[in-house]
Amino acid sequence: MVNEKKRSAVGKSLAAGLAVVAIGVACLVCTGCDTQVAETQKEQVAATDEPKWQDDSVIFRFNDENVTFADIKAIYEHRTLKPDERFSDFPKSEQLRFMKQIGMELLLAKEASSRGIEETADYRRNYYMWSLDKLFPLWITREIAEKITMTDEEILQYAPLALPEVKVRILVNNDPDKAQQAYERIKSGEDMSKVITEDSEGLSKAVGGLSGWMNEQQSAYFPSPVIRKYLDAEVGTLFPPAYQDVGFLVVRVEGKRSAEEVRQLWLSQVRNEYVLKRQQEVYKERLRKLRDEADIVVHEGVVAGVVEQNQAAASGALVEINGREFTASDVMGDSLFGQHGAGPVDGRIDTFVTKVVITDRAKEMGFEEDAEFQQALKYDRTQLLSDTLKQAISREAEKEEITDEQIEAFINGFPEEFTIPEKRAVSVIDVRSSDKAEEITAKLAEGGSFEQLAIEFSKHTDSAKNGGALGTYAADQMPPELSGPIFSLEEGSYTDPAVAVYSEGVPVWLILRVDAVEKASPMSVDRAKSLNLKPRIRTWLRTKSLADLVKTAGERFGYKNCLEGPC
């Protein structure tokens, strides 16, 4: 894109004035060159007029089927990555957008099937790449998660020594009399945690004096004989004050559990951890075997190209697995050329190889017939078909030689983008007080020469020596505060009063005159052809081909969009 910029010397003294940027006309043409030319549809549904679809509401009709709101909900909820997300909860405008997308997808899928797209190499490739994301986790679920487990007896072999445990509540006070008084209050029925909050001096006061579970080998509070005493007592037993190194303690037994209960508690806490560990061991062993049996070739030259983010070097097969070639785009996906260094790239290759060898194994085992896989295929098949058809259309557009007739048709089809905008030749007198500006405008009104007054009074010497002449500019080549006044004047007119602006924080007054007007005019076809239009034209041709296809396919398959009117 041509983007040639020239900044006038005016910019120095008129910092907030004519910041002139002469941008080549080609910039007007190439704005959005990389944006696909497509017709956009804006959905606005009034809150008081929102349609309420029922599950059996027909949204699309074809010659051979009706598509209901329930069908579209099922498609959405299959494809969403958020299991709690429900299509019915979305605003109606978003539902409309998604439904129209699905309508086009279903129509193109029917067209693709009629063309035998499913028998093409492109569809088989797209289907295989899609199946990687479906069969890989399905194999993990069916062959590992659902089959590999451990019995309680197997897990208990790893259990640490289990001992009976006890939990107590403790009141601590250094004064024996106060400890005894607290003991009597608790013994008489007062809430022990309340008494502890009021009278205890122990660190556990904040939690009502409650200890953790203790056994004879593990206790932060008591020696082993004391723990044994508490274990031998009944739950609820209250012990009178007894001195220990932190003071006088009043202790009540709050809970006990046997060694077997401790073992079972440990088992419930670690069962999933041990099962998962076993599953990981089995998975790694099976994966190692599958990879050893596979024929895997990594093309290091292409890998180097990806690491260096060199797209040309990254073309061709990045890796071959069991005779099937995969490109850098297949392996890296959206992260292609976005990763830095060999580590991330090698990691993506390793992950991809893992998915392929497991997917191939799942196919050998007949997992494509699994009900879960078939359900996913039911909802995604239309997307696979329509995407493959669109790829074919794009490829044909890329092969097509762009003719002069097509270039002219494109230019004529978008006249607003191939118009040279109106420009105005401008002169300026720059002064530094409103009184001086009024004096000069008065002299102009009396017939004074703008050029002579600019030479005599303008502070902008570069333009003053030329009688104030600045040059010729389009509206978007100057600040809005100046383009507004200038483009509202007739040819030969000047601003009265002067336009007040700031230059480097200092106020200045500009008397601007329009010397000449160059009306907007169509760009010549020859000039437009000199621009790099072919990428946009190819996009335009793809869009046009797709629009034509949608129209003819809609007629052939009896497509009716019930969102746009009664069916």
Residue (of 563, 469, 532) closest to 60 by Cα position: 563
Res 49 pLDDT > 60: no
CA–CA dist 522, 524 (Å, integer):
6
- CA angle centred on 508, ends 506 and 512, rounded to 5°: 155
The DSSP annotation for 243-268 comes to EETTEEEEEEEEEEE-HHHHHHHHHH
The DSSP annotation for 87-136 comes to GGGS-HHHHHHHHHHHHHHHHHHHHHHHTTGGGSHHHHHHHHHHHHHHHH
Tens digits of residue pLDDT in 256-306 = 999 999 999 999 999 999 999 999 999 999 999 999 999 999 998 888 877
Tens digits of residue pLDDT in 361-392 = 999 999 999 999 999 999 999 999 999 999 99
Q: Helix, strand, coil: what percent of the chain each, to 5?
A: 55, 15, 30
Tens digits of residue pLDDT in 177-206 = 999 999 999 999 999 999 999 999 998 999
Mean pLDDT across the chain:
86
The reported pLDDT for the residue numbered 245 is 87
The DSSP annotation for 307-332 comes to HTT-TTTT-SEEEEETTEEEEHHHHH
Which of 132-146, 436-450, 538-552 is predicted least confidently?
Answer: 538-552
CA–CA dist 402, 418 (Å, integer):
19
215 by DSSP, 3-state: which?
coil
71 by DSSP, 3-state: which?
helix
Per-residue confidence band for 50, with pLDDT thresholds at 50, 70 and 90: low
Residue of higher predicted confidence among 453 and 82 = 453
Q: Which residue has tokens 């992260």?
A: 335
- Element (H or E) spanning 49, and its range? none
The reported pLDDT for the residue numbered 342 is 58
Tens digits of residue pLDDT in 160-180 = 999 999 999 999 999 999 999
The reported pLDDT for the residue numbered 137 is 96
The reported pLDDT for the residue numbered 400 is 76
Tens digits of residue pLDDT in 222-233 = 999 999 999 999
Evaluate whether 214 touches 221 at the Cβ level (below 8 Å): yes
Res 29 pLDDT > 80: no
Share of the chain above pLDDT 90, in %: 64
